[in-house]
Amino acid sequence: MPAGVAADVPGPADELPGQAARAYPHPADAGRSANMRANRRTDTKPELALRRALHALGYRYRKDYRLDLAAGVRVRPDIVFTARKVAVFVDGCFWHCCPEHGSQPAANTWYWEPKLRRNVDRDRAADAALDQAGWTVVRFWEHESIDVAVAHVVDVLARMPAGPDGYGL
């Protein structure tokens, strides 16, 4: 980096809508930073448990499958039954603001509040786009029982017709 240029000067990508440019929030300590880096976008423990249980029952699906919907809307459900048009999401309590377990960070609220709000707004927009495209959306919180989640997915799949070639179990 050239001399005299600060490494933490925010660029246009760091600006939040309606806010002046601020530096990206620095972690309080190395442990917190490692914890945040360990958060996964896919293959979370609750998602893996649900997938294993559905697979053990004979269901086949696509995982983290991108659906390109009308008007350029892209959605990536955790589990997708393409023949039956069922999209399953396993939402993390923190990242998707669970009313029971979701918590708001006390530090860097200027960063976290809008970010978490955008996550919830994106969830609602994805649900609406999928519904309009004829998909059935099933959402679970990460804290919900896997047995209850499996039973609900199986019930939804039982009500949906299989694909024309019989696939989509």
pLDDT means over runs of 10, the chain (169 residues): 43 49 66 60 85 96 94 93 96 85 80 89 95 96 95 95 59
Among candidate residues 98, 95, 63, 93, the one with its CA nearest the CA of residue 79: 63
The CA–CA distances, whole Å, from 41 to 26, 107, 125 equal 21, 23, 19
pLDDT at 17: 54
Give the start-to-end residue ranges of the domains of the chain: 49-159
Laid out side by side, the sheet with 86-91 consists of 62-63, 79-81, 86-91, 136-141
Tokens standing for residue 147:
């047995």
Q: Are 168 and 81 a contacting pair, CB within 8 Å?
A: yes
User: To which CATH superfamily is domain 49-159 assigned?
Assistant: VSR Endonuclease (3.40.960.10)
